[in-house]
Structure 1
Amino acid sequence: MDHFLYKSGALHAEDVPLAEIAATVGTPFYVYSTATLTRHFQLFDDALDGMPHLVCYAMKAASNQAILKTLADLGAGMDVVSGGEYARARAAGVPGDRIVFSGVGKTKEEIHTALSEGIRQFNVESEPEMAVISQVASSLGVVAPITIRINPDVDAKTHAKIATGKSENKFGIPIARAREVYAHAASLPGLKVVGIDVHIGSQLTDLMPFELAYNKVADLTEQLRADGHEISRLDLGGGLGIPYTRSNEAPPLPVDYGALIKRTVGHLGCEIEIEPGRLIAGNAGLLVSRVIYNKSGEGREFLILDAAMNDLLRPAMYDAYHDIVPVVEPEAGAEMSDVDIVGPVCESGDTFAKQRPMPPVFPGDLVAFRSAGAYGAVMASEYNTRALVPEVMVHGDQFAVIRARPTFDEIIKRDTLPEWL
């Protein structure tokens, strides 16, 4: 469910007409619904009711300060994967003891910062990383809480570029070596093992891969405890998918995911951490664009928009599908025609949809990309010297620009000419 609905024939974000935002900030722009973000976080929090837990929002999905503060005020922790994301989380007022640091390539500088300012835990991905964390922690005279990410060799049945739990993926330590690696961690100064971490991929639409992975985690927990390790936390990752289409085949609900967690690992008495990102932010955001041209090609019709692949990369990178709808509600029974929906960037990859049935839309009309809140603005670039898309947040009948569109002067002034020029 989201809060982007047609009212009196016009698409709204909560109680704000999208056309009103477009008139104020121009197009294209991203818009987020506070009510949708809140509802989706609470679904996960409620799903784990009755067991100690922390919902750590995976902020790589959408990391604007307004989104982070909205979720942090609800009690969310944050899952970060870089020093920049850590700084964003802290700037949003998230205390260090609610920040989990993931990622395969943490640097000494990032580790030093997190240990100095506060961290809930590092999710360790390799033995070399473990050694560096131990070294930095010892130099600071502190103890670094860690989990070790195990790779359970479970096929998440998702896109190859977002699968993370198979043996050939770069993430984690093979589960067959887990006891050996945990023993090594226990021998290093400056480290305290607090639990196990697992994350098998993104946009999962079936609970079975989760069940396979979590059963392996439960067995490993028993083995590690028998070896003398204190396993008090299980970080079970994120990855639950969202419905990118309006079909009847919806992914599992958070309540079903929560029931699975309770069934597979609830008997272990561990604090549970989960790291949802896409399901919290995805359907909470739209990308709104304006039609520039209708173009007729050889046996094809093109709809050319002012949004491009640099604004929303997912279709070009993942062959991802987004519903694209007119902001003015089409008349009942409006004739549909197949069009290729494209942007103005000089690449054939700048294509959002091919042969997509659309009602009539014309130059100047607004269209909205649904389910664009996750991995939209955060992956945007200034390719072709196109300004980064502004971001807007809606709260009831109010809206605010939460990231402004830079001017061309601001973009160009970031360049510095060398003295010989």
Structure 2
Amino acid sequence: MYREAEAAEIPPCIPADPETLIPASLWASWEVRQAVLHSSPGTVIAIARRARGLRQDQLGEQAGFSQSAISRLESGGNLAYDMRVLRIFQRLLSIPAHLLGLTEEDTGLKPTRPQPGITVLDGALDGHALLIACAPAAFHAGRGRHRAPIDDEVIGQLLVLRRVINDADSWCASSSLLPSVRQLYEFVDRLRPLARDHRRAQILDVAALFAEFSGWLHLQQGDLGGASWWTERAMQQALAAEDPNLVAYCYRRLSMIAEFEDDDDRVIGLARAATREPDTTPQIKAMALQQQAQGHARTGDELAALKALDEAQRLVEGVQPERTPEYRLGNWFRTRHVELQRAAVCVDLGRTAEAQSYYQKLLSNGRPTCRWLLGVHLAKLAYAHATTGEFEQAGIAGSEALALASSSGSVLITRELRRLKPWSRVPSVAGIFHALGN
């Protein structure tokens, strides 16, 4: 008799054996890709089982199933589509969750519905469609001799487009967004000579918003040179447009780039420069303080890190965001983002019990809808679990983060997951770490 999927407890993981650890290359093999392409999780399990050198009866004994049940599972029977069963074998064999179709189930994420009238092709925004949507408004004004070619309607539509691509960052990979953002930046930049009076500064400011976002997308892909170039370009245009919020935001972004370069002095210094920019909104200043706290946590300065977070929390408590279809820098920032950062800072400070408590509360009350943001925090949670020896929980959180890294293309997630290296031979963590490759 075998125990069916309703078994009360997940069985223990297969003992680690250095000789049978699955190489990362297996997950990228033609055989695995074909199984995923044809939605055959049972085949993926069979491939992983054989790679571990296990017979069907041996795997069944570990999982609490009969050999015949394993055979049906691998041949595509009903068990192969029971999410509870798939989770058991994903953990036992250290299979990346997304290869078994567990990405959406485990994360609770579904793609955000695109804005009406925006064409989405293979998960990427169609930049030409966006330009077509905006171009008529931009050039309609040329009919009148004394009418300015750039008016409030044009500025408004450009800001709506900026809002569209910002929302798309929650569900599109950065590589698919970047070409459209570059097209839109070039389009806006070409409109500048048509602007008159105060609208020259407005159109310059809009161009800077697109340049800053281009820098962010480069950062997500790990291209630090491109991230720096575009962010500094955005900074120059923001200064020319006299937009203190965007100037501060660019300082914050440059601080994040310095973090990737492991230059902690610059991380803190640039974040401080952002906080000192005058006449910024509470949200922008709170975001700068949040980044400053991250820098202090990296240097082990617990008091300074927590003090910065307390100040950020105070700034945004009770702030009601303006509801508008147009993009407003930092308008999305909430106290919840500060609380997530507090959990992350606790991880970096070694206060893992507090971090786990914060994450448990925050993630049980609703997860962030942004894939890269959720992935970063799940990776940090996986690290926290690993440091306390909770390897099963580390494997669960890490697998979800890995799936989100795969779907979003964000190196911010994989960078955090690489911190699991000290436990790369622990079965529940091994598959995650080796899937990252070198």
- Larger strand share, 1 or 2: 1
- Larger helix share, 1 or 2: 2
TM-score scaled by structure 1? 0.30
Structure with the bigger RCO (C-alpha within 8 Å, sep 6+) is 1
Larger radius of gyration: 2
TM-score scaled by structure 2? 0.29
